[in-house]
Amino acid sequence: MTINTEHIKAFVRKYYHYLGINKQQEISRLLFEIAKRERIDYTKVTESLPKPPTRFSKIKDYLLERRYPSLAVAGQGIRPALFDVAIDPKLKMDVALKPQIQPKNLFIEDSVFHTEMANRVRTHFPESTVERIKTYKEHVGKRRFGIEDYNRRLENFYLVREDYDFFKKCPCSSKSVFCGYFVVNLGSGCPYECSYCVLQDYINSPGIILPANIEDFFAAFRNLGRNIRCGSCELTDSLAFDHITGYSPQIVAFFRSYPKTMYELKTKSDNVGLLTSVPGARNVIVSWSLNPQKIVEAVEHFTAPLAQRLAAAQRCVASGYRVAFHFDPVIYYQGWEADYEALVDMTFQAVDAENVAWISLGALRMTPRLKKIIENRFPDNTLLDEEFFVGHDGKLRYPKDVRIFLYKKMTSWIRRHGKDVPVYLCMEEKSMRLE
């Protein structure tokens, strides 16, 4: 059900004409969220609204109590974010059919035009138009790219020479638990459509960007001169394009010589064909972000089903790799406990704890800007119908007591199978404890 937010705003402007714009905005947002959450037309909600000229605080209290029952819990000191609501139907993402990865255009920077990787990609996409460009930067200029560009990102692939930010510290907020991780900037953009994905907000590009100079990453690692835990998963899925880029065998071959460095390939695919075509290295960790199959179907569009991710993990273990799992984002809903307990059990039935390098936990969170994007790209989502409040880092999060409950439950289920598997929290506040 797509809700017409312009109708809601027009109603509020007329009905509560004596209130200022910001107050009208908050009422419109609350009306929208109540109608969406209760699956009713907003006019049904308006039937029980306090009548004009009721004071704003009374109207807001009524709406908040209906939309955010947790606010009634004394002493939580929490607040929702009541920013402007505006749904543009043109921005809706069509997730009915899985798209083929078949770019219309391959833009290749001059300096990498004749590299092995560029040849490999050209051969993979014989029907794409190839355009030689000086640099990506010059090609896109100062243009800003919006949601409509993001929805069409698979049309354009850019093969570039990456020359900065090869390895950088994980961008956890300074108020969060530091995970000691370094992110490797090996590509940007993902073919999947997880409704909660941060890339929708983060990426300002008209396409998928793939570096064709992996040897420079290896040189940059040598220059770092120390052992780290790192992975190429901040701006992309580490394996979704692997059959096209051919990165993984090169990564394994290189990092095999640095056994004290952990290199993580994190994915929601089952694209492990190239990876398992070479002997595994114990310091190359292949990891999967996991959710119950019901969540995979509802919000992780076009990714591999849960059973296929676990089967891929088994193949990687059989090839000599260790694996890791990220129960992140854990999504809270009625009945989540049974689904997530079964998920943890399935995971350890697929892979023995001794082959699991680590597990991370993180509850669903988002910036207010990302929430707006999700509302527009996935207007039928139910993710946003839960209660989110402004957290320690300005992101919208479940209430703290809910997050503690999620983490403690998840940890207790994990501990039944793996007493010594390292478990850590991702992007959580420092005061949060697991066990």
Whether residue 355 contacts residue 322, with contact meaning beta carbons closer than 8 Å, is answered with yes
**Cis amide bond preceding 329, omega within 30:** yes
Please, what's the b/e burial string for 190-207 (b: 16 or more CB within 10 A of its CB; e: otherwise)? bbbbbbbbebbbbbebbb
112 binds ligand SF4 (CB under 6 A): no
3 state DSSP class of 91: helix
The H or E element that residue 262 is part of is strand 262-267
371 binds ligand SF4 (CB under 6 A): no
Pick 49 or 170: Cβ nearer ligand SF4 = 170
237 binds ligand SF4 (CB under 6 A): yes
- Indicate which single residue of 190, 252, 344, 427 sits in contact with ligand SF4 (rule: CB under 6 A): 190
Stretches 69-77, 186-194, 275-283, 382-390: which one binds ligand SF4 (CB under 6 A)?
A: 186-194
374 binds ligand SF4 (CB under 6 A): no
- Indicate which single residue of 121, 199, 298, 370 sits in contact with ligand SF4 (rule: CB under 6 A): 199
CB of 202 to ligand SF4, least distance (A): 10
Distance, CA of 94 to CA of 98 (rounded, Å) = 9
**φ, ψ (nearest 5 deg) of residue 395:** -80, 155
Whether residue 396 contacts residue 388, with contact meaning beta carbons closer than 8 Å, is answered with yes
**Residue (of 280, 360, 337, 276) closest to 311 by Cα position:** 276
The H or E element that residue 25 is part of is helix 21-38
- Indicate which single residue of 108, 112, 140, 197 sits in contact with ligand SF4 (rule: CB under 6 A): 197
351 binds ligand SF4 (CB under 6 A): no
CB of 190 to ligand SF4, least distance (A): 3
Stretches 137-145, 193-201, 255-263, 331-339: which one binds ligand SF4 (CB under 6 A)?
A: 193-201
Q: How many residues bind ligand SF4 (CB under 6 A)?
A: 9
Pick 276 or 291: Cβ nearer ligand SF4 = 291
Stretches 106-114, 185-193, 310-318, 338-346: which one binds ligand SF4 (CB under 6 A)?
A: 185-193
365 binds ligand SF4 (CB under 6 A): no
62 binds ligand SF4 (CB under 6 A): no
Distance, CA of 289 to CA of 347 (rounded, Å) = 11
3 state DSSP class of 26: helix
Tokens 């983490």, residue? 407
| Binding-site ranges for ligand SF4 (CB under 6 A) | 190, 192-194, 197, 199, 237, 268, 303
